[in-house]
Amino acid sequence: MAGLLLVHGAGGTVEGHFGGLLRRLGGRFRWVAGELPGRGGVGVDEAVDGLLAAADDAGVDAFVVCGYSLGTPLAVRLAVRCPERVRGVVLTAPFARADHRMRLGLSVWRGLYESGRPRLLAEQLALTGLGGSFLDRTDPDRLRAMLMLAPAPPAATPGHLELAGRIDVREDLARLAVPALVVVTVEDPLVSPDRQRALAAAVPGARTAELATGHLPFWEDPEGWADLVEEFLEGGLR
């Protein structure tokens, strides 16, 4: 059974970001939860070491890395460091380095998290995470209910945000030598679609697919996202 290493984004968990994908694909792949470190000051290579340790503990020698948001630069570095183990990468809502707009979003996110104002934080994350089309077609009462029911960000969130603000794998993109699928979230308020497309163009031979969502495809179009990932995984990586 093929291995699938899942690397979530900042302020989330593997279950929170990939739960729908796992319910669709989990029975066909031997999946590994690549949880991000929660303390500050962790470097990209230390974080990658933790992902490799998770795969080792699970007895998975070779795998596809499916990274979302902050998980994408970590997936890139892992694949560059260990091409003999990585069979391919799926990069969804990707970035190689945070730009000024993204750093401002991360700063507000951390401030609201540390202020203990979960409702306002949920509204801010909806503003910076959800696409305009999704917001326009969602009934306001339903949206309020969704925000109230959204899981609280994990205690590791400040460490995630700190890493997201300083990670930089731009020099690794041209060295990526495994099959790659870049899923561009075309209504993304946090990571601009143009920057996502530029990242895809910098990866040799990368396939590009686009989803009409904001930064949260697992909320906005989970089935469409799963279709793209499934097609890549089953399409013959090597």
Q: What is the pLDDT of residues 8-51, one digit of tens each?
A: 999 999 999 999 999 888 788 899 999 998 887 889 999 999 99
Which residues, at least 6 apart from 148, have a Cβ–Cβ distance to it below 8 Å?
Answer: 119, 122
In degrees to the nearest 10, what's the CA dihedral of 183, 187, 190, 196? 40
Which pLDDT value is given to residue 143?
A: 87
3-state helix, strand, coil in the chain (%, to 5): 55, 15, 30
Query: Model pTM?
Result: 0.94
Cβ count within 10 A of residue 149: 8
Q: What is the pLDDT of residues 69-85, one digit of tens each?
A: 999 999 999 999 999 99
The answer to whether residues 62 and 29 touch, using CB atoms and an 8 Å cutoff, is no
- The per-residue pLDDT of the chain, averaged, comes to 93
Query: Which residues on adjacent β-strands are paired with residue 209?
Result: 183
Domain ranges for the chain: 3-99+158-234
Q: Which CATH superfamily is domain 3-99+158-234 in?
A: Alpha/Beta hydrolase fold, catalytic domain (3.40.50.1820)
CA-wise closest residue to 3 among 38, 33, 23: 33
DSSP state of 22: H
